[in-house]
């Protein structure tokens, strides 16, 4: 199978699983106290500290053994985890969440990311090795509640750390179950518990304890602007994977039929919950009608007109003192549910809602995280790049483009300056799904580490032997 055929298969699977209503699985477990889940944050940190001291003296091979078993556990539990997340949060699509877990299991790297550099010469041997920080404090989102726990845990354990999670309160059951699976995996290969720990009922207060605790050496936050601000003000080293509002630009040289299919596949994946997903379309006027035609006639999109757009604003946003926030009742919901909210009945097969708007429109400017895409027409690619830059909002997170002109692609990539830039593919290719490279669900956009892996969670340590061990 060539690369193009493989991409088509991925797109077809995404489309099919997205329209699957509910996959029946065995009853979802309820995560209680035990196997790394504690009543309070002090206990969770203490246990992770003890476990880190044990892990640090074990061989690297042992870390790899644990990681292999964690990945098997993810595959064994992917349906249950996907179902738990959708039931607990009310967001996303079970079929797509199963694919996300498969991706984590197959493409999250381990100890192979950790490299040593060496210098040898007349004055001896110097190496720079990457060592663990110790105990990491990690904050996880409701949008990928178990995927983030697994990705973080694999990378952090590979680096020799243990990790204490403070999960989103609305997804704590799913995140805590993932924590328990990590520990179960470790014990099953002859290891010990508490490589990952968490609290049964996480709160902002328990998160603050994590931020301030002297035994936490590194903080990693995956979430929106609130937690990113909190982590950057904590006084500790912080890795911040924040919000995005990824634009997708389509120029007149693009394969428009393919661009339409790719954009809708990317934007409807898990109902637009991924931070990397296309959140608004910018299209050169010359090809705008053609793009809309393919999206509505071949990709199950519903185009809103006139007053319907205003109704959508009133429904999916909440206004307080002239400031808009997203109505959580509609985040990650099916397009048909959102349309029902504004009095439009459509079949469940409708995947995405479209509307045309100006670049200032609130639904285009806000990160909605639902299958709703505003379309902004521009006169040419240069105007398109300016508009995309504005709408990306300086997050420097993700931006995508469809074009066959390498100079336009290059100009866009340089101007947007984002951690992820996907060309001529759905956005999920940027995390290794239908694209090359490893995966992660923590994309450190704000602090610049980009797609995190085990190496991100290490610190650099220089080890010098003077006048010996030089054998050249
Ligand atoms: P959220 O910001 O509501 O919550 C994320 C986490 O931060 C939760 O654990 C929450 O309890 C905690 N939190 C929120 N405000 C806090 C504060 N002031 N102090 C301490 N902790 C706080 O986000 P969500 O709805 O769960 O997830 C969606 C958001 O996360 C989107 O903005 C999305 O773009 C972003 N996200 C980013 C990445 C990435 O890799 N860059 C990945 C997933 C999600």
pLDDT digit string (tens) for 387-433? 999 999 999 999 999 999 999 999 999 999 999 999 999 999 999 99
Residue to mutate, 173, 202, 227, ligand 1, most ligand atoms under 8 Å from C-beta: 227
Gap from CA of 142 to ligand 1 centroid (Å): 7
Nearest alpha-carbon partner for 263 in 428, 407, 384 = 428
**Look-up of token digits 């002297």:** 214
Give the helix ranges, DSSP H, for 118-198. Answer: 145-158, 172-188
The predicted pLDDT at position 24 comes to 47
Evaluate if residue 453 carries a pLDDT over 60: yes
CATH code of the domain occupying 13-242+449-466: 3.40.605.10
Gap from CA of 243 to ligand 1 centroid (Å): 8
CA gap 250, 153 in Å, rounded? 37
167 lines ligand 1 (CB under 6 A): yes
The mean pLDDT of 218-226, rounded to a whole number, is 97
The predicted pLDDT at position 6 comes to 66
Gap from CA of 168 to ligand 1 centroid (Å): 8
CA gap 357, 427 in Å, rounded? 22
The predicted pLDDT at position 77 comes to 98
CA gap 418, 317 in Å, rounded? 27
92 lines ligand 1 (CB under 6 A): no
Gyration radius of the chain's alpha carbons: 23
Give pLDDT tens digits for 149-187: 999 999 999 999 999 999 999 999 999 999 999 999 999
Residue to mutate, 88, 141, 419, ligand 1, most ligand atoms under 8 Å from C-beta: 141
143 lines ligand 1 (CB under 6 A): yes
Please state which of the four CATH numbers 3.40.50.300, 3.40.50.150, 3.40.50.720, 3.40.309.10 is assigned to the domain occupying 247-436: 3.40.309.10
CA gap 112, 96 in Å, rounded? 28
**CA-based angle 65:68:74, to the nearest 5?**
140
pTM, entire model: 0.95
Indicate the average pLDDT of the chain: 95
Q: Name the percent of the chain lying above pLDDT 70.
A: 95
Residue to mutate, 146, 223, 394, ligand 1, most ligand atoms under 8 Å from C-beta: 223
- How far are the Cα atoms of 2, 137, 142, 214, 303 from residue 221, in angstroms, in the given order? 38, 8, 12, 18, 36
Give pLDDT tens digits for 315-369: 999 998 888 999 999 999 999 999 999 999 999 999 999 999 999 999 999 999 9
Domain range summary for the chain, segments of one domain joined by +: 13-242+449-466, 247-436
**Look-up of token digits 């429904």:** 315
Nearest alpha-carbon partner for 128 in 142, 114, 146 = 114
């Amino acid at each position: 199978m060539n690369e193009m055929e493989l991409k088509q298969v991925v797109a077809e699977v995404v489309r099919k699983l997205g329209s699957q209503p509910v996959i029946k699985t065995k009853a979802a477990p309820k995560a209680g106290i035990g196997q790394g889940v504690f009543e309070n944050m002090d206990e969770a940190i203490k246990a992770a500290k003890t476990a880190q001291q044990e892990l640090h003296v074990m061989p690297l091979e042992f870390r790899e053994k644990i990681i292999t078993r964690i990945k098997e556990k993810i595959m064994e539990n992917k349906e249950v985890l996907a179902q738990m997340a959708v039931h607990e949060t009310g967001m996303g699509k079970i079929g797509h969440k199963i694919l996300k877990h498969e991706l984590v299991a197959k493409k999250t790297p381990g100890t192979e990311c950790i490299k040593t550099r060496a210098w040898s010469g007349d004055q001896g041997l110097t190496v720079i090795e990457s060592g663990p920080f110790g105990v990491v404090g990690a904050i996880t989102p409701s949008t990928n509640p178990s995927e983030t726990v697994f990705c973080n845990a694999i990378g952090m354990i590979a680096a020799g750390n243990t990790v204490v999670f403070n999960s989103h309160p609305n997804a704590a059951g799913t995140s805590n179950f993932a924590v328990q699976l990590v520990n179960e995996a470790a014990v099953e290969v002859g290891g010990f518990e508490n490589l990952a720990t968490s609290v049964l009922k996480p709160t902002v207060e328990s998160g603050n304890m994590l931020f301030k605790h002297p035994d936490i050496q590194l903080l990693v936050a995956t979430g929106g602007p609130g937690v990113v601000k909190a982590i950057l003000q904590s006084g500790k080293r912080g890795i911040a994977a924040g919000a995005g509002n990824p634009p997708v630009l389509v120029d007149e040289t693009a394969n428009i039929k393919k661009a339409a299919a790719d954009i809708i596949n990317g934007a409807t994946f898990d109902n637009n919950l991924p931070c990397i997903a296309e959140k608004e379309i910018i299209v050169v006027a010359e090809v705008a009608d053609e793009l809309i035609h393919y999206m509505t006639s071949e990709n199950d999109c519903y185009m809103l007109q006139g007053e319907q757009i205003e109704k959508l604003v009133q429904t999916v946003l909440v206004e307080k003192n002239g400031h808009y926030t997203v109505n959580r009742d509609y985040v990650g919901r099916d397009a048909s549910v959102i349309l029902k909210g504004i009095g439009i009945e459509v079949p469940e097969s409708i995947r995405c809602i479209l509307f045309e708007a100006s670049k200032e429109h609130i639904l285009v400017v806000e990160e909605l995280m639902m299958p709703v895409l505003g379309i902004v027409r521009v006169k040419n690619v240069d105007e398109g790049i300016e508009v995309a830059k504005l709408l990306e909002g300086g997050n420097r997170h993700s931006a995508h483009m469809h074009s066959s002109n390498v100079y336009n692609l290059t100009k866009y990539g340089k101007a947007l300056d984002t951690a992820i830039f996907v060309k001529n593919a759905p956005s999920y290719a940027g995390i290794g799904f239908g694209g090359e490279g490893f995966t992660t669900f923590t994309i450190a956009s704000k602090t610049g580490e980009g797609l995190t892996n085990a190496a991100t969670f290490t610190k650099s340590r220089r080890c010098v032997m003077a006048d010996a061990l030089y054998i050249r």
